[in-house]
DNA sequence: ATTATAGGGAACGAAGTCTTCCGTTCTGCA
DNA sequence: TGCAGAACGGAAGACTTCGTTCCCTATAAT
């Protein structure tokens, strides 16, 4: 398979990736920014999605499915309960679905399927949290919602490029896990620390 | 002093409070939203500030000055180094200057004075951080910029009303301080935990 | 050669925003 | 009591931005 069909298939993926990147950085971004980032025209978008809202729903749905997948994988883990939970947290941070899903909440009408997936995601999160607390390796004075909010905090970090963002998020996730784990333990933090330059650079070009 | 002059003076404060509340919740909010929240007309705003940008600069400047004030107060503390640092962190969270200052960065031209204040704020933050590390009560593998980013994460929490937001922020700040402090210690978390309802409610009305 | 399909991007209409402007109210003072 | 002008409310103007449509071209399949 090659030629026109191949380019169309490639564009399918290109557009989705671009949309995810653009809307993650700025949930209110115009649709033209997605087209530009993907290197295609606007009609390439409208050929695939009838409206902006449809594209956002697709993106949000994909994010939820990824979240569910990561959580199910962690639940299937048989070994050390803490390691399973830690892997879950790292997986969510890597998947980076919080940035999109949360920021877009309320900007469009949630579909039927989206609601169902959200429900399932919530159930899974509750399950892995319960299991980890019962194993006695996680601070019991935190709810599932607390954990979710902590993950959102980490997702709010946006400094430098994609790679640096991930690095810093894992750094602070490790720090946070030190506060979560039972019995108390303290590990070395991954990645180079943040610098003053990284902070102040945001004052010159738009966020 | 009363009558028209009094109302004008009252409006001065009313407008600033409204602007802080509105732009904290949504940095891109229209100026009309500020007027409505303050219960005044648009001309009341333009009588005081020549443009939207001027208002934002004023807001940002006030935030920086408050930040500086809080930090200087913590530096003047004579007692336990950890308590001084903890008080500093709590003060910054209460002042809630990060939400505004950071989100607005890059949306307007920083003035001369603003740059100077930002410089001074940075120096003070470095100083209290250095002092606390040297006292041996703060994890040494974190930079001043790391601490700043951690505070930004906490400022990103926005769930429910003003009161609840503050409560949750202090809850997670306490958790975070458990991970920061030397020697390792663990305290009870303040405030009621987050609930699933608080999270899911964001799906129905705008963020 | 012809038709069908994908795509590029200008054009359009609607919505939103900052700013200005004008008429009105009310105070302080002569 | 009368008046100058500060303070104000809010509609109108001028402009920008954004989602969507439309028209045309390029290419692949027949």
- Regarding whether A60 and A45 lie in a shared domain, the answer is no
The answer to whether position B163 is within a domain reads: yes
- CB of B171 closer than 8 Å to CB of B155: no
Q: Which residue's CA shows the smallest distance to C1' of D23? A: A43
- Regarding whether A29 and A68 lie in a shared domain, the answer is no
Q: What CATH number is associated with residue B112?
A: 1.10.357.10
* Residue A136 pLDDT greater than 70, yes or no: yes
Residues A66, A59: Cα–Cα separation, whole Å: 11
- Regarding whether B86 and B25 lie in a shared domain, the answer is no
On average, the pLDDT of chain A sits at 91
Residues B35, B21: Cα–Cα separation, whole Å: 12
**A138 in helix, strand or coil?**
strand
- Regarding whether A92 and A42 lie in a shared domain, the answer is no
> Which candidate, B88, B77, B23, B84, places its Cα nearest to that of B49?
B23
pLDDT at site A98:
86
Out of B145, B146, B194, the one facing A146 most closely (by C-beta) is: B194
pLDDT at site A2:
56
Mean pLDDT of A138-167: 94
Q: Per the structure block, which two tokens stand in for B115?
A: 């740059």
- Regarding whether A63 and A130 lie in a shared domain, the answer is yes
**Burial track B57-77 (b if 16+ CB lie within 10 A, e otherwise):** bbbbbbbbebbbebbeebeee
* Residue B145 pLDDT greater than 90, yes or no: yes
- Regarding whether A89 and A14 lie in a shared domain, the answer is no
User: Are A144 and B202 within 8 A, CB to CB?
Assistant: no
pLDDT-above-90 percentage for chain B: 71
* Residue B55 pLDDT greater than 90, yes or no: yes
* Beta-carbon contacts of residue B80 (< 8 Å; ≥ 6 apart): none
Range of the domain at A39: 1-50
The answer to whether position B123 is within a domain reads: yes
The answer to whether position A73 is within a domain reads: yes
Mean pLDDT of A140-163: 94
| Number of Cα atoms under 13 Å in the Cβ half of residue A43 | 0
Confidence of residue A206 (pLDDT cuts 50, 70, 90): very low
The answer to whether position A76 is within a domain reads: yes
Q: Find the residue in A nearest to B106 (Cα).
A: A206
- Regarding whether A177 and A82 lie in a shared domain, the answer is yes
* Residue A108 or residue B65, greater confidence: B65
The answer to whether position B74 is within a domain reads: yes
pLDDT-above-70 percentage for chain B: 95
Last residue of a domain, one of B28, B50, B72: B50
- Regarding whether A181 and A152 lie in a shared domain, the answer is yes
What is the count of structural domains for chain B?
A: 2
**B97 in helix, strand or coil?**
helix
- Regarding whether B141 and B114 lie in a shared domain, the answer is yes
User: Are A199 and B149 within 8 A, CB to CB?
Assistant: yes
Chain B hits for A180, CB-CB cut-off 8 Å, are 175
Mean pLDDT of A106-119: 85
Confidence of residue A182 (pLDDT cuts 50, 70, 90): confident
Cβ atoms within 10 Å of B191's Cβ, excluding its own: 14
- Regarding whether A78 and A8 lie in a shared domain, the answer is no
- Regarding whether B63 and B87 lie in a shared domain, the answer is yes
pLDDT at site A3:
63
Is the C-beta atom of B51 closer than 7 angstroms to strand D? no
The answer to whether position A205 is within a domain reads: no
- Regarding whether A172 and A96 lie in a shared domain, the answer is yes
Mean pLDDT of A109-131: 92
The answer to whether position A207 is within a domain reads: no
Q: What is the pTM of this model?
A: 0.91
On average, the pLDDT of chain B sits at 90
Last residue of a domain, one of B50, B66, B83: B50
**pLDDT tens-digit readout, A82-109:** 999 999 999 999 999 988 888 887 777 7
Is the C-beta atom of B30 closer than 7 angstroms to strand D? no
* Residue A207 pLDDT greater than 50, yes or no: no
The answer to whether position B99 is within a domain reads: yes
Confidence of residue B164 (pLDDT cuts 50, 70, 90): very high
Confidence of residue A187 (pLDDT cuts 50, 70, 90): confident
């Amino acid at each position: 398979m090659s030629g026109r069909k191949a380019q169309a298939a490639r564009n399918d993926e290109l557009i989705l990736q671009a949309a995810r990147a653009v809307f993650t950085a700025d949930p209110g971004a115009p649709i033209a920014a997605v087209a530009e980032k993907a290197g295609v025209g606007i009609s390439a978008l409208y050929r695939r999605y009838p409206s902006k809202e449809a594209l956002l729903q697709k993106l949000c749905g994909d994010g939820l499915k990824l979240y569910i997948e990561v959580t199910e994988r962690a639940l299937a883990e048989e070994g050390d309960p803490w390691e399973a939970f830690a892997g879950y947290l790292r997986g969510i941070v890597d998947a980076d679905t919080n940035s999109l899903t949360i920021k877009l909440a309320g900007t469009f009408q949630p579909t039927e399927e989206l609601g169902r997936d959200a429900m399932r995601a919530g159930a899974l999160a509750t399950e892995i949290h319960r299991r980890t607390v019962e194993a006695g390796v996680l601070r019991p004075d935190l709810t599932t919602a607390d954990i979710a909010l902590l993950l959102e905090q980490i997702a709010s970090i946006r400094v430098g490029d994609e790679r640096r963002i991930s690095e810093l998020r894992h750094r602070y996730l490790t720090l946070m896990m030190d506060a979560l784990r039972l019995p108390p333990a303290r590990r070395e933090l991954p990645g180079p620390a943040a610098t003053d330059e990284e902070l102040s650079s945001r004052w010159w070009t738009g966020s």
